[in-house]
């Protein structure tokens, strides 16, 4: 078993799920369990300045071993896993020489990784695939990225004859809840540019992402006995349904792709007197995102006019912006990644990120940071999987980027 696979299987045993309801930094203390492991490994590899700061960010530096003037490159991945599903007691399964067809994740619970539902599986016939047992997510987002960066560093330490510039390493907490860059020390990091290793299938290379906002909409009703409720009861659950009917019905994640934006209702709770809807809004254009915000505000105003000013309250908060504007002036860093992939036999797939990464915010903080693949599929749920060769290709691409940067 290769080093990157061993590392990945080790890291996913550490539960690092973040918590969007927490106000602490990091949002969960268990993320520090992985941070401590990584600092120890970085120190054992001989990297300088290996540390975990007071906010749970891990940093380290591999000094340049060349006298040439070359840029300092950063590699960044996040340590937390999604709140969408548990990452506790992950039980990975290695499907060797995958024959095609369905993969039974858990016979007892009838969890099946269906080849019909997930046709991309057929790309990996004959390969080894790591899956879950259906009771947790796997954690390839982003422990695959962490493992690939760490393994590339190990290779460079073991092969001092390979020339490289200064390499700056960063592992962040709380990326999954949109806080991964909140306390990132860009100046202290010391890189001229960086790459997040946080993408999906092999070949993904991304330098543009959604503009993002979140919305919390609260509905207030009035409860009386249903036997005498005529003209008196206002059911906040039904208000919420009416609000949803005022949004475009086919602009949801399940109905959109490519550069199409969406409204995503991802959590709700309610009873007659109070119902809360939690949305995320996404669009690749600033104008498009503003239109979505206004659509929601106008829907709220219609209900306020109908049921009273206090019947609906809406709060919309911006989250991050499309990093394309900050990457385009330094497109050579995307070209280097593209050339590196081609050099190791990976076909680059340049596409927009239908989401966000730490790199989006870091780019606006002065550190241009496009995104590289990890090799994983179906993040955030029980059907997550990653082919082992994808992990290995991730390491190769990182090393080739480092090699090609010498020629900048």
Active site residues: 80, 175
State the DSSP string of 218-257.
EEE-B---GGG-TTT-B-HHHHHHHHHHTS-TT-SGGG--
- Dmax over CA atoms of the chain, in Å, equals 85
DSSP state, residue 17 = B
The torsion of the CA quartet 292, 293, 298, 303, rounded to 10 degrees, works out to 110
**CA distance linking residue 256 with residue 221, whole number of Å:** 33
**CA distance linking residue 213 with residue 217, whole number of Å:** 13
Q: Which of 384, 320, 32 is nearest to 177 (CA)?
A: 320
Secondary-structure percent of the chain, ordered helix, strand, coil, rounded to 5: 35, 25, 40
174: left (phi over 0), alpha (psi -120 to 50) or beta: left
Strands (DSSP E) found in 331-407: 349-350, 371-372, 385-387
**CA distance linking residue 122 with residue 102, whole number of Å:** 10
CB burial class (10 A; 0-12, 13-18, 19+) of residue 147?
buried
**CA distance linking residue 147 with residue 162, whole number of Å:** 20
Strand duo 167-172 + 73-78: pairing: parallel
**CA distance linking residue 20 with residue 177, whole number of Å:** 6
């Amino acid at each position: 078993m290769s080093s990157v696979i061993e590392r990945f299987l080790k890291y996913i045993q550490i539960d690092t799920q973040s918590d969007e309801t927490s106000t602490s930094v990091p949002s969960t203390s268990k993320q520090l369990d992985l941070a401590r492991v990584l600092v120890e490994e970085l120190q054992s590899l001989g990297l300088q300045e290996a540390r975990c700061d007071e906010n749970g960010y891990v940093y380290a530096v591999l000094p340049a071993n060349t006298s040439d003037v070359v840029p300092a490159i950063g590699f960044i991945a996040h340590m937390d896993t999604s709140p969408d599903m548990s990452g506790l007691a992950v039980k990975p399964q290695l499907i060797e020489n995958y024959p095609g067809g369905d993969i039974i994740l858990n016979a007892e619970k009838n969890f099946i990784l269906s080849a019909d539902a997930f046709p991309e599986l057929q790309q990996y016939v004959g390969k080894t695939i790591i899956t879950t047992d259906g009771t947790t997510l796997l954690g390839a987002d982003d422990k695959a990225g962490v493992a690939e960066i760490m393994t590339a560093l190990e290779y460079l330490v073991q092969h001092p004859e390979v020339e490289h510039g200064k390499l700056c390493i960063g592992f962040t907490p709380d990326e999954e809840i949109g806080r991964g860059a909140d306390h990132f020390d860009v100046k202290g990091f010391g890189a001229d540019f960086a790459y997040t290793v946080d993408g999906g299938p092999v070949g993904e290379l991304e330098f543009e992402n959604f503009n993002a906002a979140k919305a919390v909409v609260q509905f207030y009703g009035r409860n009386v006995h249903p036997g005498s409720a005529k003209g008196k009861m206002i059911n906040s659950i039904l208000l919420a349904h009416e609000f949803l009917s005022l949004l475009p019905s086919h602009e949801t994640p399940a109905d959109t792709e490519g550069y199409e934006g969406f409204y995503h209702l991802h959590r709700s709770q309610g009873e007659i007197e109070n119902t809360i809807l939690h949305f995320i809004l996404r669009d690749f254009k600033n104008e498009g995102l503003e239109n979505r915000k206004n659509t929601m505000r106008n829907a709220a105003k219609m209900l306020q006019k109908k049921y009273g000013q206090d019947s609906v309250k809406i709060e919309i908060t911006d989250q991050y912006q499309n990093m394309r504007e900050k990457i385009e002036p330094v497109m050579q860093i995307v070209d280097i990644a593209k050339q590196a992939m081609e050099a190791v036999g990976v076909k680059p797939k340049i596409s927009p990120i239908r989401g966000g990464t730490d790199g989006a915010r870091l780019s606006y903080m002065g550190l241009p940071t496009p995104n590289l693949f990890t090799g994983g599929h179906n993040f955030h749920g029980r059907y997550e999987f990653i082919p082992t060769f994808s992990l290995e290709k991730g390491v190769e691409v990182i090393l080739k980027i480092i090699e090609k940067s010498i020629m900048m």
